[in-house]
Structures are given as structure tokens and as C-alpha cells.
Amino acid sequence: MKGELAEMAYESAQPVLEEEATQKTSSPVIQVENLHKTYDLGEVQVHALRGVTLAIYPGEFVAIMGASGSGKSTFMNLIGCLDRPTKGRYLLEGQDVSKHSKQELARIRNRSIGFVFQGFNLLSRTSALENVELPMIYSGVSHVDRVRRSNEALKAVGLEGREGHHPSQLSGGQQQRVAIARALVNNPSIVVADEPTGNLDSRTSVEIMEIFQRLNNERGITILLVTHEHDIAQYAKRVVVFRDGKVRRDSLVENRLEAAKVITALPAIEQDEDEEA
């Protein structure tokens, strides 16, 4: 009974939130209704998502939080068109993609969505520039344009001069910058990032959040970012908390942090200082 009451209170709070959170005039860039995902493992079925309803508007910056196993990555994979829901609707930029074929999903994904992962997912024997070029190879961009756009994207994340470096010659933070550049080269309207600071020390994490905030502010890119760290979520505009495959809380960030300001207040890192665990 208590749970139901809390749910009702939550639902009645929804319209207010959306009105305050975003541009009321625009329509959602992401709209999911009663989204379910069940992994069928033969003998057991895992209900990873149990009815998620959520609207995200252009220019939002949403932190997805919740305990391990609560369905965050499953949700991000559906939003990123890497997987299809078992049940429910997903409208991406107004288009129902929930029943799209894998091929159609791949096309939309390549055009509209940039991905950033905790483990960077870079090709190790390939330069930063070539790593960033990859998504454009799939979308048929000419070599000259690929190089130009990759250089621009690397510059935008502060990696000018490192274009020829291989991942092993770059720090974790720099590798994540390469991954962000790679996510940007096809000019996506949405960037989804699953624990992008999970492998980084705290200063480097703030530097990565500065890039996300800049992309959000200057280019209006909608950002969805999974984190389990409360201080990282403070850089977002809105926090959605998952529990047991459902949305448990959805609220605006109060006292939002500005990464560019936080960085200037942090002590400079000594070159030989050990990284935080």
C-alpha cells in the first residue's frame, strides 16, 4: 500500500517536473512507455526492466542512478538502439523504433546516437585519429572528410597534438576523450554514456564532466549518463533513479555543479602522483 501511494505521489509530480525541467514547447527526443526487457536464459527469465515510462527533452542532461543490477545498462542499450524491448514503446525523435529491424536500428544509431562506455572500448593498435574515424567509415564519409572531422572532434575534447598516439600511449582520461570524440563525429543529437568516469580518478572525472557539460551547453546535445557516484550526478540537470527495473525517483538537480569552475578550485596534479584507486 505504501509503495502504491508513493507511486501515485510520484506520478502526480511528473507534469510539474517536465514543465520546470525543459523547454515546454519542444517534443521529447526520447519517450519510452511501459518499457520491459526480459532476458530469456532458457531455464530462467531475468526481468531487467519492468515498465519504465520516461520522457526526455532536447537539451536535457540526465544522470541515471541506481544499485548494480537495477537495469541501468539495459535501459541505456535500449535507448541507444543496441537492443530491442520485450514490451512497450520507444519513440526516438518522434519515431517509433521499438519494432525496427536490427538493420534499421543500426542506421538510426549511427546517425543520431553517440556512445561512451566505462572501459573506453578503443581499438588498441590504432591511433586516436583512426579510432575516431571508425563510425564515419560505417556511414560512408570520404577519407578527406573523415580526417578533417576526426581532427576537429579531437580538438574539441582537448587532444590536439595527440592524433597519432595509440591508446597505450594515452592516460585513462585521454582515452576517454578519444572515445567521446568518436561519439561526436557523426554529429549525434544524443550522447549516452554508461559509467564514463567509472575507471577514472576524481580530478579526471571532473574534466570529463566538463566536456559533457560543454557539449550540452554549446551544442544542445541531449546527454544520458549512468553513474553510481552522487557527486558526478550533481553535474547533470536531472537525476532518474532506477530500482528493480523501474524508475524509483525522478528529480531536478539542486545546486548543480559547474565542472569548469570545480576544476579551477582543484589542486593541480603532480606528474608523478599516484592515481586514486
Please give the residue ranges that form the binding site for ligand ADP (CB under 6 A): 39, 41, 46, 48, 66, 68-74
Selection from Mg ion, ligand ADP, none that 48 binds (CB < 5 to 8 A by kind) is ligand ADP
Region of 45-53, 66-74, 212-220, 240-248 interacting with Mg ion (CB under 5 A): 66-74
Nearer to Mg ion, 172 or 198 (CB): 198
Q: Which residue is listed with cell 511501459?
A: 34
Residue whose C-alpha is closest to residue 159's, from 142, 138, 186, 180: 180
Nearer to Mg ion, 73 or 186 (CB): 73
Selection from Mg ion, ligand ADP, none that 189 binds (CB < 5 to 8 A by kind) is none
Nearer to ligand ADP, 121 or 171 (CB): 121
CB neighbours (10 Å) of residue 6?
12
- Amino acid occupying residue 14: Q
CB of 194 to Mg ion, least distance (A): 6
Selection from Mg ion, ligand ADP, none that 46 binds (CB < 5 to 8 A by kind) is ligand ADP
CB of 83 to Mg ion, least distance (A): 13
Nearer to Mg ion, 37 or 72 (CB): 72
CB of 242 to Mg ion, least distance (A): 10
Q: What does DSSP say about strands 30-40 and 87-92: parallel, antiparallel, or unpaired?
A: antiparallel
Nearer to Mg ion, 73 or 98 (CB): 73
The strands making up 87-92's β-sheet, listed across from edge to edge, are 45-56, 30-40, 87-92, 95-96
CB of 141 to ligand ADP, least distance (A): 32
- C-alpha to C-alpha distance for 87 and 176, rounded to whole angstroms: 34
Q: Which residues make Cβ contacts (< 8 Å) with residue 174, sequence separation at least 6?
A: 159, 162, 165
Backbone angles phi, psi at 47, to 5 degrees: -90, 90
Q: Which residue is nearest to Mg ion (CB)?
A: 73
Nearer to ligand ADP, 72 or 109 (CB): 72
Concatenated DSSP letters for 34-53? EEEEEEE-SS-EEEEEEEEE
Concatenated DSSP letters for 74-128? HHHHHHTTSS--SEEEEEETTEE-TT--HHHHHHHHHHHEEEEETT----TTS-H
Selection from ligand ADP, Mg ion, none that 71 binds (CB < 5 to 8 A by kind) is ligand ADP
When asked if residue 73 is in the footprint of Mg ion (CB under 5 A), the reply is yes
End-to-end CA distance of the chain: 43
CB of 62 to ligand ADP, least distance (A): 15
Cell numbers for 148, please give them.
578533417
Q: What does DSSP say about strands 238-243 and 246-252: parallel, antiparallel, or unpaired?
A: antiparallel
Selection from Mg ion, ligand ADP, none that 213 binds (CB < 5 to 8 A by kind) is none
Nearer to Mg ion, 36 or 166 (CB): 36
Cell numbers for 189, please give them.
543529437
Selection from ligand ADP, Mg ion, none that 234 binds (CB < 5 to 8 A by kind) is none
| Interacting residue ranges for Mg ion, rule: CB under 5 A | 72-73
